[in-house]
Amino acid sequence: MISRDCLQQSSLMAYKNVYQLLGVAFIVGLASGRALKADEDASPRIGIIGGGIGGTSTAFFLRQLYGPKLTIDVFEAQKVGGRTSLIRVNGEDYEAGGTIIHKKNIIYEFQDKGMAFTTTEDMLRAMGDDLLNMTRHTMNESLQHIGLSQRFIDEFAAAAVKDNYGQTLNAHGFLGVVSLMAVEPDLWAIQDGNKRMAELLLRESKANLIKGSVNTVALIKDNLGTGSVSYELDYTKATPGSDKETSESREYDIVVVAAPLNEGSKNKISFADFPRDVVTFKQDYHKLISMFVQGKVNTTAFDVGSQNELPAEIISIAPGCFFNSLKKMTPVSPNSKPDTPLKPEEAVWRVFFNKDPTEEEINNLFVSHSDLRLVDWWAYPEYQAGADLPPFMLYDRLYYVNAVEAAASAMETALIGGRNVALLAYNQWHGHFDKIDEVQLPSPAENEETKKSEL
């Protein structure tokens, strides 16, 4: 039976279902950053490892910066979209990973000016010392410090971080703020699935997609002091229509790692022939099991009279509870069942667990069910106050987009990380050092001028 702990401390939150549907226009909006003037002669060969939002946005922004001549290869071991993907339950598609988008971030002002940051720390500092400080203290401390009541923190903020990141008030304060933004009413999602974002970014970037898993990044030429390097990527390619795998390699001037450097990762990347360690930090990832099920919730367990009385979402913040949250899902393509509201017992629920659920636990939550799917994720980092914030630069012309996840993992931060790495690579290639780690925002007057010249 569901432990009393789960119920005593459950915070029941009914979310408004805020699926504002966006189309391609959103993607075009992403492109609104002003392209810097491309240098015609110098076109580096660029290899990007990972075809999630981080890797495809890096490709997209690099194309904007360098123009049409540049060669960009994107390696993807599994599916473009990465942690944004769909799952089919009872004939409808649902978001299996990244679900909601919150759109508001001051870092865009810097990025619109072509500014880049070499570390997550510098990026946060540019947005304000308070934000950087928040990564060094727990969510509990940080939210108290900005004046939120202990009761709000214990009941609401704890539920927000549990639902969004499977974690507790011991996570760092910056994640706490991001978690709270993720339960605000004005949230977005992409029609037909958030993975379209990565697909469209890739298409617009005109990069070559290479379906293969990169095993090794080797430093094969290092003209010390000049910054000029060459890398070889060794990768395993699946042969279509057979089990045969082939090993191949390619050479690049710039390499972008756009996948978590997580010990447990299925497609682990190793680094060879460097004069020093390139991964000098530890980024542990949080295991999350996401269960999709069409079924009838055990109303007794939640103390309601009928299926109709169930809220849209139930979150448990009790430390001993076996599940994190239970949420009624909306399919990503609402057109597929026009205007026929689902009967409550036809609803599809998504349940998050921090460990594999037992059959008994599932049966306690659902008195009956038909379709049941489990998805296993290395979902996001384990967030600890004061932990290392990894750099965006691992070596000369070797970059790491997922450093940004140490601040907060989200579709939007993946985009910000991707754009930062594109700007960083470009600025370093062209010696635009004044546009790296500079924190001054232009004055309002200067802003006006820019707008006029763009018109």
Ligand X SMILES: *[C@@H]1O[C@H](CO)[C@@H](O)[C@H](O)[C@H]1NC(C)=O
Ligand Y SMILES: Cc1cc2nc3c(=O)[nH]c(=O)nc-3n(C[C@H](O)[C@H](O)[C@H](O)COP(=O)(O)OP(=O)(O)OC[C@H]3O[C@@H](n4cnc5c(N)ncnc54)[C@H](O)[C@@H]3O)c2cc1C
Binding site residues, ligand Y, CB under 6 A:
49-55, 75-78, 82-84, 97-101, 213-214, 258-259, 267, 269, 288, 290, 377, 379-380, 402, 409-412, 414
Measured from the CB atom, the residue of 296 and 400 that comes closer to ligand Y is: 400
* Residue 52 binds: one of ligand Y, ligand X, none (C-beta under 5 to 8 A by kind): ligand Y
Q: Would you list the DSSP string of 373-391?
A: EEEEEEEEEPP-TT----B
Structure tokens at 155: 């009941």
* Residue 110 binds: one of ligand X, ligand Y, none (C-beta under 5 to 8 A by kind): none
* Residue 256 binds: one of ligand Y, ligand X, none (C-beta under 5 to 8 A by kind): none
Among 111, 142, 167, 325, binds ligand X (CB under 6 A): 142
Query: What is the C-alpha to C-alpha distance for residues 187 and 106, in angstroms, rounded to an integer?
Result: 17
Q: Are 93 and 87 in contact (CB under 8 A)?
A: yes
Measured from the CB atom, the residue of 141 and 251 that comes closer to ligand X is: 141
* Residue 364 binds: one of ligand X, ligand Y, none (C-beta under 5 to 8 A by kind): ligand X
Does residue 228 bind ligand X (CB under 6 A)? no
* Residue 123 binds: one of ligand Y, ligand X, none (C-beta under 5 to 8 A by kind): none
Does residue 4 bind ligand X (CB under 6 A)? no
In the complex, the smallest distance separating the C-beta of residue 364 from ligand X, rounded to whole angstroms, is 5
Measured from the CB atom, the residue of 171 and 256 that comes closer to ligand X is: 171
- Using alpha carbons only, give the angle 68, 413, 440 rounded to the nearest 5 degrees: 80
| Closest by CA position to 283, among listed 182, 194, 365, 401 | 401
Q: Which stretch binds ligand X (CB under 6 A): 99-107, 216-224, 278-286, 295-303?
A: 295-303
Q: Are 352 and 290 in contact (CB under 8 A)?
A: yes
* Residue 1 binds: one of ligand Y, ligand X, none (C-beta under 5 to 8 A by kind): ligand X
Which parts of 349-408 interact with ligand X (CB under 6 A)?
363-364, 367
Burial tier of 447 (Cβ tally within 10 Å: 0-12, 13-18, 19+): middle
Query: What is the C-alpha to C-alpha distance for residues 293 and 374, in angstroms, rounded to an integer?
Result: 9
> Tokens 């279509």 sit at which residue?
240
CA distances from 399 to 49, 279, 423 (A): 10, 11, 11
In the complex, the smallest distance separating the C-beta of residue 95 from ligand Y, rounded to whole angstroms, is 8
Outline where DSSP puts E strands in 118-223: 188-190, 208-223
- Residues interacting with ligand X, by CB under 6 A? 1-2, 133, 137, 140-142, 145, 169, 298, 300-301, 363-364, 367
